[in-house]
A = this chain, B = another copy of it.
Amino acid sequence: MATLSDIGVSATINILTAFAFFLAFAILRIQPVNDRVYFPKWYLKGLRSSPLRGGAFVSKFVNLDFRSYARFLNWMPAALQMPEPELIDHAGLDSAVYLRIYLIGIKIFVPIACLAFAIMVPVNWTNETLERTNLTFSNVDKLSISNIPTGSRRFWTHLVMAYAFTFWTCYVLKREYEIVAAMRLHFLASEHRRPDQFTVLVRNVPPDPDESISELVEHFFLVNHPDHYLTHQAVYNANKLSELETKKKKLQNWLDFYQLKYTRHPSKKPLLKTGFLGLWGDKVDAVDFYTSKIDNLTKEMSLERDRIMSKGNSVMPAAFVSFKTRWAAAVCAQTQQCRNPTLWLTEWAPEPRDIYWNNLAIPYVSLAVRRLVIGVAYFFLTFFFMIPIAFVQSLANIEGIEKAVPFLKPIIEVKVIKSFIQGFLPGITLKIFLIFLPDILMLMSKFEGFISQSALERRSATRYYIFQFINVFLGSIITGTAFQQLDNFIHQSANDIPKTIGVSIPMKATFFITYIMVDGWAGVAGEILRLKPLIIYHLKCFFLVKTEKDKEEAMDPGTLGFNTGEPQIQLYFLLGLVYAVVTPFLLPFIIVFFALAFVVYRHQIINVYNQGYESAAAFWPDVHGRIITALIVSQLLLMGLLSTKEAAQSTPLLVTLPVLTIWFHHFCKGRYEPAFVRYPLQEAMMKDTLERAREPNLNLKSFLQNAYIHPVFKGVDETETEPASQESEQQPVLIPTKRRSRSNTPLPSKHSGSASP
């Protein structure tokens, strides 16, 4: 077990690392040559232009103003200066609310830490339990609950503290939920006119033998929302087209590369082998080769585009239906349209850039099956992921490599390399898996059929959190793979599980302190340095960049990454809440993490990250729910720990805590969650009325005409898509029907489940 001085050494190392990162960052960021790596957000907004224009040659690349080096930490106050409303304007509500998660961490843990150090630490310290035993112990343990003798009356302190911490956490959570809900509603209300305010996504349009999907949609909504329907846009299956587009971009890139090569060395025509990976085959002129390939692809794409537009079978059974008012869209999104609840499913259309187009056409039954499949797959991934990794590890040993690539044998047999491979390979297999885990989870979510990027990220975040909870948190505490844990838990009584975990918790405090310093402190400081984008950007600049536009494409601002970032923070909430009563010594480390991360991410959000979509903080219920989960876990574990300490009289009092917490969660869910799921009619009506008063002659139809067009069609041929746009809006629309079969039966026959609009 680590002593205080061990932790001191570790802390020194990590603080020095973090400072080194900050120093490197401070020097690198003021070099003009790195400007696009550290301030891409401003370029994207068009508020900053390349510093390479004008000025002395050297000062284009290196900052010679030495005074600026002295103020090397001045980015920190700068990051904190931008007020929140401006931040929302600048980077969107999602980012601003994301930062509030760190703030919550500070708000929760600072008072808790103060209280714990003022009351609980003295109570723990003034015992001599550990000294009387012959166990080795550290000073950290003397500060923890381990130092209290079994059956002592001092446990009442911890009990009272557990209540105090729970109430404080709940209070902060409730206030924060309230604020975020108000922010979201205010954001939605003060937004400019956006297509998604008027638009509803309809899925599972039933097939009809007599009418095309587009006609069917129009008729259905003209009949069922007669005074409100405005227009609709069909969804085309353009997956193949967008594949071709990606391919074309890649080829264009190669063409650019070879053209650049040619312009640099006009004497030598760049040649290319046509075979696999350019290793063999006929040699051809690379520029000609790629030009002709791109030409072919362009032709193919235009054919494909025509095919999609002309034939009806590329129209998917889904549509974006736009209404004349926000009120009508709110109504349509919140109601059931058809007596069969699996047809004509309506929901708010996500922002156009938020849509995940591939999933728009999955039928209801398939969705249910996919959910089952992914649920089972995720279970196995979480509990049995060690099995394939162990298998790969067993393959990736020295003998295996020697067999596969015999000519490497002499090199491998060198002792240093051999031991390096043997020690390194198993670890790297696991590390590679963990690096790819978020992508695997994202793939799972995509397969499950969510239709917006934001929903995909939210679901992946939930899964990642559960994985971390089981494999990092529980895995570190009771040391064993998830499957072994599962096996243990099945064979233990419901009473013993919290006991088993609770008992080992105090012993793991020093481990988690080190973890927080490495992963939290140094990791966050590393984030601001952006080493990977920096290197890639300079490599690209050196090899590829010719024009200003290329440079713009070379910079990779990245996004906030909710699906990996948020579960990471939640792990700290969990650690903080679990250790608050047990080993309060851990709390300052967590507070430092939250403060540091808040500043760093605020800086990154202002200067670096590009916003992929705007979900108006739709993720908040998830964040709230996970902190509540952490709170309940901490209460259960405390119950287990105290029951082994023979403070059994505390159990009934402790049992009420999770009951109250769950009730609080339900209360918050009912009180605030609707703001994140539904759109109140009052708000919609208010905005509609205001808009009508301000712009009485607005042509909404033209505004909405092409808002929800597949990105591959964007800017190609806007006139082609909707020939019917000249129609007058004011006239009552007569609905012609092509229907033969049921044109005389206005009511569906008894017990029929089909839809007849």
Residue ranges of A at the interface with B (Cβ–Cβ < 8 Å): 178-179, 182-183, 185-186, 189, 220, 223-225, 227, 327, 330-331, 334-339, 341-342, 344, 364-365, 368, 371-372, 375-376, 489-496, 659, 663, 666-667, 670-675, 678-683, 685-686, 689-690, 746-747, 750-753, 755, 757
Given A490-B493, A491-B495, A751-B179; A368-B667 close (CB under 8 Å): yes
The answer to whether residues A682 and B186 also contact, given A179-B751, A342-B670, A372-B663 and a CB cut-off of 8 A, is no
Q: Do A339 and B490 contact each other (CB < 8 Å), given the known contacts A671-B364, A757-B682?
A: no
Q: A182-B753, A227-B227, A490-B494 given. 8 additional CB < 8 A pairs?
A: A186-B751, A189-B747, A223-B682, A223-B685, A225-B681, A368-B667, A372-B659, A490-B493
Partner of A335, one of B335, B338, B667, B675: B335
A494 neighbours in B (Cβ, 8 Å): 489-494
Residues from chain B with Cβ under 8 Å of A670 in the complex: 341-342, 364, 368
Given A183-B751, A493-B490, A685-B223, A341:B690 Cβ within 8 A: no
Given A376-B659, A671-B364: A686 and B335 interface contact (C-beta under 8 Å): no
Instruction: Report yes or no: B339 in contact with A683, Cβ–Cβ below 8 A.
Output: yes
Q: Which 7 A-B pairs have the closest CB atoms?
A: A341-B674, A182-B751, A336-B678, A334-B335, A490-B495, A372-B663, A336-B680
A675/B368 contact (C-beta < 8 A), A189-B747, A227-B227, A755-B682 known: no
- What are 30 A-B residue pairs whose CB atoms fall within 8 Å in the complex? A182-B752, A183-B751, A186-B750, A223-B685, A224-B682, A330-B335, A334-B334, A334-B336, A335-B680, A336-B678, A337-B682, A338-B682, A339-B680, A341-B670, A341-B671, A341-B674, A341-B680, A344-B682, A368-B663, A368-B666, A368-B667, A372-B659, A375-B663, A376-B659, A489-B494, A493-B494, A494-B494, A682-B757, A686-B746, A689-B746
Is A674 a contact of B185 with CB atoms below 8 Å? no
Q: Which residues of B contact A372 (CB under 8 A)?
A: 659, 663
A491 CA / B338 CA spacing, docked (Å): 50
Bound state CA distance, A494 and B331, in angstroms? 47
* Distance in angstroms between the alpha carbons of A353 and B183 in the assembled complex: 43
Complex formed: what's the CA distance from A225 to B682 in Å?
9
Q: Separation in Å of the A754 CB from the closest CB of chain B?
A: 11
Compute how far the CA of A186 lies from the CA of B672 in the bound complex, rounded to whole angstroms: 36
A337 to B683, CA, bound (A): 8
Bound CA–CA A672/B368 (angstroms): 13
CB distance B336 to A681 under 8 Å?
yes
* Interchain CB contact under 8 A, A338 and B368: no
Cα(A302)–Cα(B318), bound, Å: 61
A690 in complex: contacting residue of B334, B747, B757, CB < 8 Å: B747
Q: Are B335 and A678 in contact (CB under 8 A)?
A: yes
Q: How many whole Å from A263's CB to the nearest CB in chain B? A: 57
- A681, B337: Cβ atoms under 8 Å? yes
Nearest chain B CB to A318 CB, angstrom units: 18
Residues on B with beta carbons closer than 8 Å to the beta carbon of A186 = 750-751
Q: Which residue of B lies closest to A331 (CB)?
A: B331
A675-B341 contact given A336-B681, A751-B186, CB 8 Å threshold: yes
Question: How far apart sit A365 and B182, CA to CA, in the bound complex (Å)?
Answer: 19
* Contact status B335-A681, CB under 8 Å: yes
Task: State the CA gap A183–B376 with chains docked (Å).
Answer: 35
Write out the residue numbers on chain B whose beta carbons fall within 8 Å of the beta carbon of A327.
Answer: 224
Q: Is the CB of A337 within 8 A of B751?
A: no
Q: In the complex where A179-B751, A494-B489, A690-B747 touch, is A335 in contact with B331 (Cβ < 8 A)? A: yes
> What distance in Å separates the Cβ of A340 from its nearest Cβ neighbour in chain B?
8
Closest B residue by C-beta to A365: B667
A753→B174 CA distance, assembly (Å): 14
What's the Cα separation between A672 and B331 when bound, in Å? Answer: 22
> A690 — which chain B residues lie within 8 A by C-beta?
746-747
User: A59 to chain B: closest CB distance in Å?
Assistant: 45
